[in-house]
Structure 1
Amino acid sequence: MKYIVALLGLLVVLGLSYIVSNNKKNIRFKPIAIMIVLQVVLAFVLLNTFAGATLIKGFSGVFEQLLSYAQEGINFVFGGILNEGQFSFFLSVLLPIVFISALIGILQYLKILPFIVKGIGYVLSKVNGMGKLESYNAVASAILGQSEVFISVKKQIGLLPKHRLYTLCASAMSTVSMSIVGSYMQILDPKYVVTALVLNLFGGFIIASILNPYTVEEGEDVLQVQEEGEKQTFFEMLSEYIMDGFKVAIIVAAMLIGFIALIGMINGLFLGTIGISFQQILGFIFAPFAFIMGVPWKDAVDAGSIMATKMVSNEFVAMLEISKYPNLSAKAVGVVSVFLVSFANFSSIGIIAGAVKGLHEKQGNVVARFGMKLLYGATLVSVLSATIAGIFI
């Protein structure tokens, strides 16, 4: 039965992508089929093999160790604020982003990250049938973040046609930055976080290849990366990345306070007037999508509510919502966890459009105009990744 549901989910995702495609005649099905097969193979390896479990354990172990180092700095500054045994989301989950951001800055400055990103991007370009720039951007987005990644390709932002700019922005919204991955792993099972990271990378290309198909000519397939740190000293760079990490932590904290409070108020208003919460209504709307992702029907409404919360607020708010549904089955929790690991929400439209506009005003306006299509595509990427993962959960 689960294979039939997964096939249905795959067909729905591909069908919804095809319906709004801007150039149906130019869709190349061979690379899409190859990438779907790769997703299935990778999901099986990560979720159902000893090698995958070992890889995930190693990956999460690295982040666990890094977070323990981050805690040393946090305890020095904020030690004594909490009573023993108490937990603070801001101190334990968000502030470690500062340390991870600093590490990313060091690896970027030493040219280690650009080398890795270009290498993986080159290999991906041979699989996905797209250009080197698109492949580089997808990998870089998963490391640098959805706004910072555009700085690394700012030399080419103003030269890109609308269709290529869409693919770059879609990749940025479909992935998550490495600086936040450790925070996700403190809320969700690391194996679902890692699986989502890998599947989303290919899922972004699959959906973009249907929604926005095009061919990059050989003369256009040039990658010009802006190397960060070339005009800065090491400590100038380090200070900048530390402050960037702190800004991210503060922004996420502010978003959580605002969105959780607003959702609580709206739920209260709906309960007081019609006897059902706003999130429950959204749950009924998203329940069919939860079901085709592999969530058991008895959990579909609750899972749909969490999925909708992510879209209207952000992934952190939705991740925290999972704990409010203790009766969710293990499969439902796993499938929804994979769905939540991306930046596909309304606020990301403004973040990405603002980042591009800061580098090139005209192109920023172009991004703002196709913002809803970006969210549509990125959400389908999350549904696709969760559907594939659901086969093996």
Structure 2
Amino acid sequence: MFRLENAQSLVGIVLAMGICWLLSEDRRRFPWKLAIGAVLVQAALVLALFGLPALRAALQGVGHAVDGLSASTQAGVAFVFGFLAGTPNQPYALTDPGSLFVFAFRVLPVILVVCALAALLWHWRILKWITQGFGVVFEKTMGLRGPPALATAATVFMGQVEGPIFIRSYLPSLSRSELFMLIAVGMSCVSGSTMVAYATILKDVLPNAASHVLTASIISAPAGVLLARILVPRTPEAEVSEPLKPEEDKVYESSVDALIKGTSDGLAIVLNIAATLIVFVALVAMVNGVFGLFPPVAGAPVSVERILGVVFAPLAWALGVRWADAPTAGSLLGVKLVLTEFTAFIRMGAIPAGGIDERTRVIMTYALCGFANIASVGINVAGYSVLVPERRTEIMGMVWKAMMAGFLATCLTASVVGAMPSELFGHELKPPAPAPAPVLQPTLAPNPAAASTAAPSVTSQPASKP
């Protein structure tokens, strides 16, 4: 049933497109057909994936596969790290079972396993066929040329820098609009390895978490294409059609070689994620320490999270979040932009069931599922400087705008989901709470049990929590 709350999400759709139009390099060339088509494609995909019994069952199967993958990964982690992996048999008496969930041992190893499996599936050509299939879909439905369409599809599964590798030889000849679109789409989506990690973080607080995360990354690609085309309109005269030649950057000698190289690639990703989280959380802790010198405001200490919650609360409301949850949801949006989406997912996973509305949690899952953050700016500059060094100056001039496009693309996706009937996702709307929910504090415990004992700030957080 379509309700007022669903109509509220339409504000977010208009707002995302409107901001991009105001900042467009040519406001007279707004892609009306692409705008209507992209939103309809997103809505149709959501309705089909969650409304059709066969596809809904397939998505639930994906969720079971993710649970099995996580359990299998824990067997390997327990073999190497023993009781530190959070096994039931602990050498000490437990006073806080939630502390067994340690991010380094429960989430990061999943990325290693998924990267190894992705390499194996690529060697078996299964993932390659899937990527090429999605590339044809993007080419036919979004009006993309063959090379950018393939790179867009690869980005959905492989990541923001790994995707363009598949058309490396074409990058120097891409138009400015096409190059900007690839960077923006890369920040609109997430990679296959991180999809599983996010689902692992949210599975205790969000039913069908894997289904939502997978859907979010796929349907955010059309949103990224649309907003990129609005900000930097295409120039057909600069897009010369040319046949697509397969790249040979990912070649494995055997299945074992694919597993070994995939594991090595995964290790680099894991170390990068861990290092980024350590540095960015530490920086926020330092800033919060400075804010702690100031007197409390409205009965609570000033923090980065509170400030972000206030700044982004109106945007969260425009996505379809009820106003009682808007400060918390706004804080999550800000944390995603400043501290990476990994941190934002961890903090949302720390909100226990009932802490925010179920509909709010679903909408925010889609809003957070993208690589658009400050750290990704550096990742893209470094990656594209290697892939296409002759265009580094041009990339430096557009990467921040691409980050904004990626951020708003996930907001557009969340708005489309918010406009869908809540019954589609298996929950009913609840009446608004009588009082606003407290602004989310920067605890990093990724499950409800851990959240209940976490301290109210990063600086006072126990060392055992990620």
- TM-score in terms of structure 1 length: 0.93
Amino acid at match of 2:62: F
Write the distance in 2 (CA, Å) between the matches of 1:315 and 1:69: 25
What is the aligned partner in structure 1 of residue 266 from structure 2?
A: 245
Alignment match of 1:322 (pick from 323, 348, 353): 348
What is the aligned partner in structure 2 of residue 69 from structure 1?
A: 72
Whether 2:370 is the aligned partner of 1:356: answer no
Bigger radius of gyration: 2
Q: Is the 8 A contact 2:252 2:258 kept in 1?
A: no
What is the aligned partner in structure 2 of residue 194 from structure 1?
A: 214
Whether 2:169 is the aligned partner of 1:155: answer yes
Aligned runs of 1:11-50 on 2, under 5 Å? 11-48=14-51, 50=53
Write the distance in 2 (CA, Å) between the matches of 1:363 and 1:243: 29
Write the distance in 1 (CA, Å) between the matches of 2:230 and 2:78: 49
How many residues were matched structurally?
393
Aligned runs of 1:368-383 on 2, under 5 Å? 368-383=396-411
Write the distance in 2 (CA, Å) between the matches of 1:43 and 1:252: 30
What is the aligned partner in structure 2 of residue 266 from structure 1?
A: 287
What's the offset of the Cα at 1:357? 0.7
Taking only the aligned residue pairs, the percentage that are identical comes to: 28
Aligned runs of 1:80-91 on 2, under 5 Å? 80-82=83-85, 84-85=87-88, 86-91=100-105
Write the distance in 1 (CA, Å) between the matches of 2:272 and 2:83: 24
Higher deviation after alignment, 7-16 or 340-349:
7-16
Alignment match of 1:144 (pick from 158, 161, 173): 158
- TM-score in terms of structure 2 length: 0.79
* SS in structure 2 of the partner of residue 273 of structure 1: coil
What is the aligned partner in structure 2 of residue 309 from structure 1?
A: 335
What's the offset of the Cα at 1:232? 4.8
* SS in structure 2 of the partner of residue 328 of structure 1: coil
Write the distance in 2 (CA, Å) between the matches of 1:4 and 1:69: 43
1:219-242 superposed Cα distances (whole Å, 9 cap, x missing partner): 425433312344755544432221
Alignment match of 1:127 (pick from 127, 137, 141): 141
Alignment RMSD (CA, Å)? 2.1
Amino acid at match of 1:336: M
Counterparts in 2 of 1:160 and 1:88: CA distance versus 1, 3 Å? same
Write the distance in 1 (CA, Å) between the matches of 2:218 and 2:163: 18
Write the distance in 1 (CA, Å) between the matches of 2:283 and 2:295: 18
Higher deviation after alignment, 49-58 or 31-40:
49-58
Write the distance in 1 (CA, Å) between the matches of 2:273 and 2:380: 16
Counterparts in 2 of 1:255 and 1:229: CA distance versus 1, 3 Å? closer
* SS in structure 2 of the partner of residue 136 of structure 1: helix
Looking at secondary structure, tell me which structure has more helix per residue.
1
Write the distance in 2 (CA, Å) between the matches of 1:34 and 1:150: 25
1:107-141 superposed Cα distances (whole Å, 9 cap, x missing partner): 22233322221122112211111222222112101
What is the aligned partner in structure 2 of residue 214 from structure 1?
A: 234
Amino acid at match of 2:402: L
What's the offset of the Cα at 1:153? 1.4
What is the aligned partner in structure 2 of residue 2 from structure 1?
A: 5
Amino acid at match of 2:314: P
Amino acid at match of 2:389: E
* SS in structure 2 of the partner of residue 272 of structure 1: coil
Higher deviation after alignment, 308-317 or 250-259:
250-259
- Runs of 4+ residues over 6 Å off in structure 1: none
What is the aligned partner in structure 2 of residue 78 from structure 1?
A: 81
* SS in structure 2 of the partner of residue 80 of structure 1: helix
Write the distance in 1 (CA, Å) between the matches of 2:343 and 2:376: 14
What's the offset of the Cα at 1:206? 1.6
Amino acid at match of 1:182: V
Counterparts in 2 of 1:151 and 1:195: CA distance versus 1, 3 Å? closer
Alignment match of 1:391 (pick from 399, 419, 428): 419
Counterparts in 2 of 1:274 and 1:47: CA distance versus 1, 3 Å? farther
* SS in structure 1 of the partner of residue 170 of structure 2: helix
Q: Is the 8 A contact 1:339 1:382 kept in 2?
A: yes
Counterparts in 2 of 1:80 and 1:377: CA distance versus 1, 3 Å? same
5+ residue gaps, structure 2, are 89-99, 203-208, 297-301, 423-466
What's the offset of the Cα at 1:47? 4.1
What is the aligned partner in structure 1 of residue 315 from structure 2?
A: 289
What's the offset of the Cα at 1:30? 1.5
* SS in structure 1 of the partner of residue 107 of structure 2: helix
What is the aligned partner in structure 2 of residue 166 from structure 1?
A: 180
* SS in structure 2 of the partner of residue 369 of structure 1: helix
